[in-house]
Homo-oligomer: A and B are copies of this chain.
Amino acid sequence: MSYAGAVTLADHASPAPRPGRRADAERNRAAIIEAAGEVFAECGGGVDVREIARRSGVGMGTLYRHFPTKDELLVTVLEQQFEAWLTDAHQQAMATEDPWRALTGFFEQTLSTQARNRAVVESLTATGGPSSSCVERCYSIIDQLRTRCVDVGMLRPGVTTEDLFLLSGSLSQAVLSTADSRPGQWRRLLRISLDGLSSRNSEPLPAGTI
């Protein structure tokens, strides 16, 4: 396996959860992360830091000792979520025998999760997208699924991992914009794209430059 299943995001939680810290500090850190997760999911990344401090029953000083910057907190929390989604979707995809169903199921699952967590996705986009480690993990999962499809000749020739990743982000936008008015319509677009990805379409794709 080329991707490290153990790629956590410890490198983002600035004062990493080291065991030698005081018990109350540990508790507070956990409370902050939990509260921030809730608040961000409810109100998006634009919320006042004070609200997070209030909700987690912690002072501003405490919050900022644990996370030197609002962005750092935001990123930590959001990526934790994102990683969890990715892990779920990956496991399910690996458990699916048919390569094509594994790939389509992966899309279906990640996107429907995003539909259920709009605010998180929006915040994630607003902070410049997930970190490179998250992106890399996503890439390797997709690459794995893609390879399986290619091996059995189900995927249109020439489709790259980048293409699939880009498609994922693109459909993510569709998920967001239909969330209110026409929930689930993104599935139609997903179907259309997947049909365009099947090996029944053999015309070469345009090159990736301007």
Contacts and interface: CB of A to CB of B under 8 A. Distances in A.
Interface of A: 129, 156, 159, 162-163, 166-167, 169-174, 177-178, 182-189, 191-197, 200-201, 203, 205-210
A97 to B, nearest CB: 22
B193 A209 contact: no
Contact of A210 (B162, B183, B193, B208): B183
Contacts of A192: 156, 159, 163, 167, 193, 196-197, 201, 205
A118 B185 CA distance: 26
Contacts of A195: 195-196, 201, 203
Given A156-B192, A196-B194, A187 B170 contact: no
B209 A184 contact: yes
Contacts of A196: 191-197
A191 to B, nearest CB: 6
A201 to B, nearest CB: 5
